[in-house]
Amino acid sequence: MSQEKSESVKLQSVNSLRTTMDSYFQRLKTATETGNKKIAWCTSVGPAELLYSMGFEVYFPENHGAMLGASKMAEKYIPTAVSHGYSPEICSYLTSDIGAFLQNETPLQKSGFKTVPKPDILVYNTNQCKEVADWFSFYARHYNVPVLGISTPLNINELTTGIIQYVAKQFEELVPKIEKVATQKFDIDKYRETIGLSHDGCVLWRQVLETAKSKPSPINFFDSAIHMGPIVVMRGTQYAIDYYRILLSELQQRINTGVSAVPNEKYRIYWDGMPLWYKLSSMSKLFANLNTCIVASTYCNSWVFDDLDSKNPFESAALAYCKLFIVRSDDEKEKVFEKLLKEFSIDGMIYHESKTCMRNSNTHFGLPVRLNAKTKIPYIEIHGDLNDSRCFSEEQAIIAIETFISQLSSRN
C-alpha cells in the first residue's frame, strides 16, 4: 500500500449543494416568520409528495438529527432527552433532536432561526421504524397539532397487491385529514405532477449513485451521504431535479476524464448501515489512505423511489415506499445485496451495527454469514452508532478496517 497520505477529491458541485440547501432552509424560515405557507413535518421516507402538493413547506426532523450528529453535538443533547424519560438505547436521532429542543438549541440558529420551524401538522410513515411515531407524538403534544401516520407492515417478503392496496388506502385517507390544516384543497393533478417530479429526482439520484459502477469511481459514500440532502428534503420539487442534473454532469465529466473520488482506487467496498455522522471526515480520509473507495451503500440507495408513477399516484407511492430496503425481509435484502455486490464490483463489505438503530443494522440474524456463503465476498462488522459517538471505539474500528483491507490486498 502507498505510504503517501491521500484524500478524497472534492466535488465542485458542493457549492451548488450549499446554495440549494440554503434556499430550502430560507423557504422554511420565511414560512416560519411570515406564515406565507403552512409547515408540515415529515419522516425522511414519509409522504413528502402529498405534503408538497398541498402547498406545505416540509421539514424533516431526521435531517436535523443528522445535522446534530455531523456537528458532533448529539452527546450534549442525548442526556437531556434521557432525563425526560427517553432511553439511551433508542434512536439517537430522536434523543439528540428532542434533547436539543428541550435545551432550546438547534444548528439552524446559525442560519437565523430562533428555533426549529413550528409544525402545523406532523405526518409519518412507519415503513422505516416505529420510533418515528413516538418521536412525532412528542412534538404533537408539545405544539398541540395533529399527528397523522401511515402504518406499513414490516419485514415484507412478497410485495403483494393486498399490501400495496392496504398502504395506498392509508395514503388516500390522509388527504381529508391534511386538508383540515392545509391552505389549499387536494388537487389530483397537482399530486400527479409532484409524484412525477419526485420520480424524476429519484431517477437522477439513482444515476448519480450508479456512476460509482465505473472503475475508478467518481464518487464515494462520504460524498453521497452529504449530497443526498436534496433527495431527502426536496423530493417532489424541481429544486432536487435541478441540483442532481448539476451533480450528475460533474460525475459524468469525471468518468470521461478519469478523475476518481479516491486517488489510486484499488479496493471497492459496500457499506451497510447508517453513516457515522460524527466521523464522516476522518473515515473518508482513512479509506482514501487505504486506496479504498466505498462505492455503494444501503443508506444512500434508500432514496431511490423510481416506482413512483404520476398515472397511478397513490398505488405507486404505496409500492415505492413499501419496496424500500428497510421494510423488507432478510431474504429480499439478500437478493438486493447480491445484485449490488455484482453491479458495483465489490471486493468487501462493511456492516455498521448501529447501537441505537436496530432497523438499519443487518447483522443480528445471520444475514452476513448467509450472504458470504453465497457470494464469497469477505466482510467485517463494526460497532458504533449513527449519532452517539460514545458507542463507537474509533481505535478498534480503524484496526479492524486496516486489517480487513490488508487481507483484501492479499487475496488479489
Which positions lie near ligand SF4, rule CB under 6 A? 62, 91, 93-94, 128-129, 131-132, 357, 359-360, 386
Number of other residues whose CB lies within 10 A of the CB of residue 137:
14
Nearer to ligand SF4, 292 or 301 (CB): 301
CB 229 within 8 A of CB 347: no
Nearer to ligand SF4, 314 or 325 (CB): 325
Nearer to ligand SF4, 89 or 179 (CB): 89
Mark 191-207 as b/e (b = at least 16 C-beta within 10 Å).
bbbbbbbbbbbbbbbbb
- Cell 433527495 found at: 231
Rounded to 5 degrees, φ, ψ at 32 are -65, -45
Nearer to ligand SF4, 325 or 344 (CB): 325
* Distance from C-alpha of 277 to C-alpha of 388, rounded to nearest angstrom: 9
Nearest distance from C-beta of residue 326 to ligand SF4, angstroms: 7
Nearest distance from C-beta of residue 387 to ligand SF4, angstroms: 8
Nearest distance from C-beta of residue 127 to ligand SF4, angstroms: 9
Rounded to 5 degrees, φ, ψ at 346 are -85, 135
Nearer to ligand SF4, 62 or 272 (CB): 62
* Distance from C-alpha of 33 to C-alpha of 30, rounded to nearest angstrom: 5
Nearer to ligand SF4, 94 or 276 (CB): 94
CB 234 within 8 A of CB 240: yes
Mark 222-257 as b/e (b = at least 16 C-beta within 10 Å).
bbbbbbbbbbbbbbbbebbbebbbbbbebbeebbee
Nearer to ligand SF4, 62 or 223 (CB): 62
Nearest distance from C-beta of residue 159 to ligand SF4, angstroms: 20
Long-range contacts of 252-259 (CB under 8 A, 24+ apart): 252/211, 254/211, 254/218, 254/219, 255/211, 255/214, 255/218, 258/216, 259/9, 259/218
Alpha helices in 92-220 (DSSP H): 92-102, 131-143, 161-179, 188-210
